[in-house]
Structure 1
Amino acid sequence: MDDIVKQAMAKWPRVPHCSGWLGLDARGRWWLRDEQAQALGAFASGVPGARGSRLEHEGLIAFIGRNYEVDAQGQWYFQNGPQRVYVELEAAPWVWRLHDDGRVLSHTGRAVQPSALWLDEVGHAYLLADCGFGLVHSQDVGLVAQAVEQGRWTPETLAAAQMPGRFGFVLSPQQLAGSRDGPAAADQNRSPGPR
């Protein structure tokens, strides 16, 4: 986590969390979801416009990646200064990119060591790595096949709907926040920014 983020957290320790405002798609791209996008439906609903606007600013994307964490409930978030911005996940908390030389990198550029390969009911490939569970980028499935042929990984199967429970992550913190009672849930749906 960036030092400037740690300093902001110490200075403003009671900034409410928010959810629904940031999404991570199955290709490792970040999406900013304003109120209009959220009103159209869930991030992973497939409804046109519900994803919001794709982030393209390299500095902002790198900042999010450096400050991307998980809480004790398996909800992934971006620590934006003093505020946690919970992330809506299309498929998994990590998206892996495989390279011809055997390296595996996360969508944030982090090098990882995979330990297991999983396939869902439609053939999407997922890897369990030292930092967590993630989806293999669709462009890299050929390299997964090569790794299986070489004996590096033996695939196991599991339905996509069972993966969050099995690997301890929450796809939609916004939906989870909406199901909670009390003022804490209302705080989670506020827009990003210090209060």
Structure 2
Amino acid sequence: MDDIVKQAIAKWPNVPDCYGWLGLDARGQWWLRDEAVQARGSFPAERGTLLRHDGLIAFIHRNYEPDAQGRWFFQNGPQRVYVELEAAPLVWRLEAGGPPVAHTGLDAGAVRECLVDEAGRVYLACAAGLGLVHSLDVGAVAQDIERGRWQPREVQSSDLPAAYGFVPSPAARQAQAGAQ
């Protein structure tokens, strides 16, 4: 986390959390979701505006992490912005034989499992967390599987959040908590 962000948290410790305003798609792209987009529907059906500003994206990447409940967020100064996830909290990029690297630049660490869901999407459970393999890198994963680097296990995508400890929609969870 950036030092300036830590300083902002210390200066303004009671800023309310933000839900529903930021989404991460299956290709590691960030989507800004204003009130009008949120009113039209949930992510990813209603994506919003694709972020293209390199500096802002780099800032999000440096300040993106999970909380103790498995909700991934971007710490935007003193405000925690919870992220809506299309598939997984991380999107892995890789070349055949190379180590996975997250869309944020985070090194994956050791790959613990290779998973394939009902739609044929490939995930890697790594020391850094669960991530979906970017669609452009599925060929590299296939080569690694053929070489015996990983043995894929079939899974249901709906089982992944509970099994790997992440919350796909913090906004939906927050709305449920508020309704009780």
Please report the TM-score for the alignment, with normalisation by the length of structure 1: 0.89
Looking at both structures, which has the greater relative contact order when contacts are Cα pairs under 8 Å and sequence separation is at least 6?
1
Show the 5 A alignment for 1:52-71: 52-71=48-67
Distance (whole Å) between structure 1 residues aligned to residue 81 and residue 178 of structure 2? 19
The residue correspondences of 1:21-32 to structure 2 (distance < 5 A) are 21-32=21-32
Aligned to 2:113: 116
Q: Which moved more, 1:106-115 or 1:21-30?
A: 106-115
**Which residue of structure 1 aligns with residue 42 of structure 2?**
42
Gapped regions of structure 2 (runs ≥ 5): none
Instruction: Select 1:78's aligned residue among 74, 77, 81.
Output: 74
- In structure 1, the residue corresponding to 2:172 is in which secondary structure? helix
Q: Secondary structure at the match of 2:22?
A: strand
Residue aligned with 1:179, SS: helix
What root-mean-square deviation, in Å, do the aligned CA atoms of Structure 1 and Structure 2 show? 1.3
CA offset at residue 100 of structure 1? 3.8
Corresponding letter in the other structure for 1:63? F
For structure 1, which segment, 161-170 or 105-114, has the greater mean C-alpha deviation from structure 2 after superposition?
105-114
| Mapped pair 1:95 → 2:91 | yes
For 2:168 and 2:73, locate their aligned partners in 1 and report how far apart those are by CA, in whole Å. Answer: 11
Structure 1 partner of 2:141: 144
Q: Distance in 1 between matches of 2:90 and 2:43?
A: 16
For the residue of structure 1 that corresponds to 2:178, the secondary structure is coil
Once the two structures are superposed, residues 59-111 of structure 1 have per-residue CA deviations (whole angstroms, 9 ceiling, x without a partner) of 10000000001111110000000010000000000000012451311000122
Give the Cα–Cα distance (whole angstroms) in 2 for the partners of residues 58 and 153 of structure 1: 34
Across the two proteins, how many residue pairs are aligned to each other? 179
Give the Cα–Cα distance (whole angstroms) in 1 for the partners of residues 159 and 99 of structure 2: 27
Report what 1:172 is aligned to: 169
State, as a whole percentage, how many aligned pairs show the same letter.
59
2:9 is aligned to 9
Instruction: State the shift of 1:57 in Å.
Output: 0.4
Q: Distance in 2 between matches of 1:103 and 1:164?
A: 23
Q: Per-residue deviation at 1:122?
A: 1.4
Q: State the Cα deviation string for residues 126-163 of structure 1 (Å, max 9, x = none).
A: 00111100100011111111111111100011100010
Cα displacement string for residues 14-42 of structure 1 (whole angstroms, at most 9, x for unaligned residues) = 00001000000000000000011101100
The amino acid that maps onto 1:69 is: E
Unaligned runs of 5+ in 1: 186-195
